[in-house]
A and B are shown apart, each in its own frame.
Chain A
Amino acid sequence: MTTVEKVLGFFKEKGQQVNPDTDLFKGGYVNSLFALEIVMYLEKEFGIKFKNKDITEKNFKTVETIATTVEKYL
């Protein structure tokens, strides 16, 4: 499974249909709950811990940018 597919898995679990390039902020997908959950999910799923500087709106804007950010740690 690619990183993008794994990240999409998070949204599938929540019952949200998104594409790799869906703007998560515009679509109203992002709230603090989402923010916390996705960070925790990714850290657990990939066994990583994000550095503070990587936790930004820009890096979490779409599934694609999230995957790119994750891949820096792999």
Chain B
Amino acid sequence: MTEHLPALIVVVPLLTSFLVFALGWFRKDLCFPAGLCGLAVAASSCIGLLVKVIRWGPVTYKLGGWEAPWGIVYVVDTLNGMVLAAVCLSASLQWIWSGPSVRRYFHDRLGALYGLQMLFVTGLLGMTVTGDAFNLYVLLEIASITAYALIAMGPERASLSSLNYVFMGTLGACFYLLGVGYLYIMTGTLNMADLGSLLTKLHSSGAIQVAFIVIMVGLWLKMAFFPLHGWLPNAYTHAPSPVSGLIAPLMTKVMVYVMIRINLHVFGPAYCFEKLGLDRAVLWLAVVAIVMGSVMALAQKDLRRMLTYVILIEVGYMVGGFWLGNRSGITGAILHLLNDVFMTLCAFLAVGNLLYRLPGCTFAELKGAFSKMPFTMGALVATALSIVGVPPTCGFFSKWYLLLGALEAGHYGFLGALIFSSLVSLVLFFRVFEQAFFTLQDHENAKHPFSFTLQEAPVQMVLPLLIAAAGLVALGVLSGEIVSGMVEPVIPPTVF
């Protein structure tokens, strides 16, 4: 049974999404439990697989029994095992959390929303688990197209923002496909492991260089790396709040994972960091991404919009950390990838809770939020601490590795950008908490500063948020084990 786990991870959510679509027509009340069951099966197979991979090393699964270079294989090592588990767990938490708000905003389109969410998760899981470059493209587009549709379900400007995302996203995917075409011309294979071994002999080829650059541009478009980030803030701000809790934490992170996978195991660190000589340029781009993201985040007056710029900063961290090209930098990038899934999840779940009770989440509307929604705001404080990088939370540990990497590489620009953006995040969140904690909402409360009415979101929304917030601390405490057990084994021994 356990040898079929890699296939189950993709097949179960795929079939569940069709089931949920169908149930939406005649038994709407069953959509939620059916989807939850599907996600639970996927999550337990992910965790089972992760445990197996940590104990006995990487697992290769041949779909349909076709041998590796010709058929499609699923390859799971600790790197994508970890990402798979993070995607499944955060998608399950989001699924439980989104129940009340989906019932409130989407009672007429329940089946469509749940079905698309499930299909989106399928795409992400498939992208993470696959070991085939073209298969990755197809699953990337499954995830992207469902994301366009999900974002467009929002009110107001959502459809326009989503259309802009369609343009940028499609160009990104096409660039990736073009690069895969060049790789196929040069090597005649699409299997990642096979490509990796064949490319070692082709380091001086111009076509490979073009393929590399085109693939990187495509992936950067999809992950919203700085100059190519135009679509992200609008798309994630105008998405319906249950949806942004799913897409915002996962899409960019999985794209960062794809970049790390392709650079480490297809082109190889020797090619990326030594042969090409692009690493300095990309690092400075990451520095600009972090600084510009921080500056633009400072200019925002809406909590949700501010958080979208925080995502841009985090993408800058991960891309920059990876391109430092040394062991600490790559460890930091991978660890930050894992941490950032839960930090962003926590942040957007908290915003969703606020939006459930408050008319909006501009800073002015957050006045007195601490006394009304103490649990939600408490979780938001934990998230803020983690994003700033305060020790017991996980954000500190990944940032520590990134700083170490920057010091070892002697890249003081990146070091400065990291410290600058940490200080800016402190200011960013302090502004929010100042409004929410110290400013009372109206004159009634001003007369009686100790009387307040609790207006917390439903338990179903608060509990997943608190679990995710506890996860931030747990990830921080366990970060030593994560690095030694999961991150170290996947970094090639040639990287120092």
Q: Are A and B part of the same complex?
A: no
